[in-house]
Structure 1
């Protein structure tokens, strides 16, 4: 009854249907921006996912095209070339190591053959020491003889090579060039500079004149005065007398 009376007099009823609808409307108004924001975020995410999908498709097509081009180029792809280079380097390193080991073994063999194994002289008596010294001397003598023979053979081969080269040059018409004298590369430059300096010298361009033409002593020095002639005549007469 009280609620009906309030409605009749125009007063809103607290907790009534009108009040509940007003609250729901206010809540809807407050939630509307959030829903719009969520919708915008969802739209952005969808667009971004679509862009990423298209990029992935384009990337996949480009990779397929590049693979097709590589397959068309031939059997040797860059990856295979790289692997082949690595295998060749590895093989070369192994061959080099084997060659070094072979040379070291050959060197040890030659040293043992020429020098022999070291002798035990700590507990040897005098006779054994003499025998060891004689063996070493004989081996050294043989080595020196072989060395002399090898050096002589090398000199002979060098002479033969030089003779053959001279014959080849004679047949071709080419003679051995004589050794040239060493000349400084600045000598010609200095000569040219001195020549130019002489051309631009002011004194060399002046006209040369005789000094006697413009002197005050125009009289001949050989011409003597009359009184000196008289004195000479007297001397001549006295000499004749």
Structure 2
């Protein structure tokens, strides 16, 4: 295991050990390379039959099943005690950009339903300002037939570049989310006021959700390149 991978595991284990409520009944499990170790650690708990886990997409559903955890749905359990998830970029105030893996709507739904939301990631995701490290653009989930209009709207809001995310070699045409929608990636450069930008984008007709996660996370754990773990707290 590389030093970075080892640090991811240490960060995930520490995040679970320091934050998992002993009496938790409903737990959100996100997606990403670091969350793999979150699910692994939660799967080692002696009382894992006492709670259900809510996934944020296909990958996290598989993580829950593979680690012998009880699988539930947000429809069954709309109140979540704690949720753990990764991020594509994290600012010092714990605002995040998420959606690189195309699960942003369900990730935000689970995070917003949780009493406590913990981010786990590696050192490459730390940034002084959102949009500086994650340069692919803010992921935005949209209703499919609105894509042309929303692209124009985003450019009017100041986006320097907007791409309709394609499936690449694996699929001809756009990426389709778990909710059967399209994704746009909008590059606004440095995002100084994530809440304001989120509100402006969310108000556009055709937009389902943005990958700007503001005022949701309480703490972030980062696996460092030297094998150590650092934390940022709200």
User: Larger radius of gyration, structure 1 or 2?
Assistant: 1
**Greater relative CO (CA pairs within 8 A, separation 6+):** 2
Q: TM-score, normalised by structure 2?
A: 0.14
More helix as a share of residues: 1
